[in-house]
Chain A
Amino acid sequence: MASTAAVPFWRAAGMTYITYSNICANLVRNCLKEPHRAESLAREKVHFSLSKWADGKAQKPVLRSDAPAV
């Protein structure tokens, strides 16, 4: 079987396909002309708050907002 098939350089460096694809998409978005660039970067912004729970109580939440998804 081809278990020793050549892997793409990004997988060899420990990156998954999704990360690679998102990086490519971000780079393309950064190269757009003005109104399209602002629109596409705004479209990709995420906003979420994540809290881990321990002993039945929510710990301090991690907030991520207004950053383009990577």
Chain B
Amino acid sequence: MFKQASRLLSRSVAAASSKSVTTRAFSSEVPSTIDSTFVESWKKVAPNMDPPQTPSAFMKPRPSTPSSIPTKLTVNFVLPYASELSGKEVDMVIIPATTGQMGVLPGHVPTIAELKPGIMSVHEGTDVKKYFLSSGFALLHANSVADIIAIEAVPLEHIDPSQVQKGLAEFQQKLTSATTDLEKAEAQIGVEVHSAINAALSG
């Protein structure tokens, strides 16, 4: 019974591979990663075994880039411990890239942006939701999907201004008294992060 199964399966694979050689299959039917020359040389060497499949045959194809710019941006905002927004459709997000605040609209050019500590705002109609991000990356894809990853993201209401002032003073003092490069770098990071939070709270 199982000998029959492999024969039937190899028959259907052979049919698929001959199809891809003679006529172009629609890319939605056949995973475009089937390499027909490989399948044919496999058949010559091991005619009774199915050609091996690659991981990409099991993966869902990436959503293709639509020919016209979509009206909404799909945002996936993830933290190591939670998925804040997953596939949410919004009008715009403004992300705190190291090169400055960057507005992302649907149809944005594909970009990988490193984020600095700052505010990210998600605009949906008239709603604006703001988060303070500690640092991270934003991956903007051609199909208007934005993946934003950060280690910590807090709504501004959760921040305690007195702690921020204390931290800023402490790190400014550490910066002047730092000796090694590493200490200086740590103090500098402290000053930058606290100044960013201050600016976020007041701006």
Q: Which residues of A contact B117 (CB under 8 A)?
A: 24, 28
With both chains docked as a complex, state the minimum distance between the C-beta of B16 and any C-beta of chain A, in angstroms.
44
Cross-chain contact B151 with A27 (CB below 8 angstroms): no
With both chains docked as a complex, state the minimum distance between the C-beta of A6 and any C-beta of chain B, in angstroms.
12
Cross-chain contact A40 with B181 (CB below 8 angstroms): no
Whole-angstrom distance between the alpha carbons of A22 and B134 in the complex? Answer: 9
Q: Which residues of A contact B193 (CB under 8 A)?
A: 24, 27-28
Interface membership of A36, Cβ < 8 A = yes
Q: Which residues of B contact A21 (CB under 8 A)?
A: 134-136, 151
Interface membership of B84, Cβ < 8 A = no
Across the A-B interface, how many residue pairs have beta carbons closer than 8 Å? Answer: 74
Cross-chain contact A27 with B194 (CB below 8 angstroms): yes
With both chains docked as a complex, state the minimum distance between the C-beta of B168 and any C-beta of chain A, in angstroms.
10
**A interface, over-half SS:** helix
Interface membership of B188, Cβ < 8 A = yes
> For chain A residues 14-47, which have a beta carbon within 8 Å of chain B?
14-15, 20-25, 27-34, 36-37, 40, 43
A residues whose Cβ falls under 8 Å from a Cβ of B: 9-10, 12-15, 20-25, 27-34, 36-37, 40, 43
B residues whose Cβ falls under 8 Å from a Cβ of A: 81, 117, 132, 134-136, 151-152, 154, 158-160, 163-164, 167, 181-182, 184-186, 188-190, 193-194, 197
Name 17 A/B residue pairs within 8 A (Cβ), A-sorted.
Answer: A10-B188, A13-B181, A13-B184, A13-B185, A21-B134, A21-B136, A21-B151, A23-B190, A24-B134, A24-B152, A25-B135, A27-B194, A31-B167, A31-B194, A31-B197, A33-B159, A40-B152
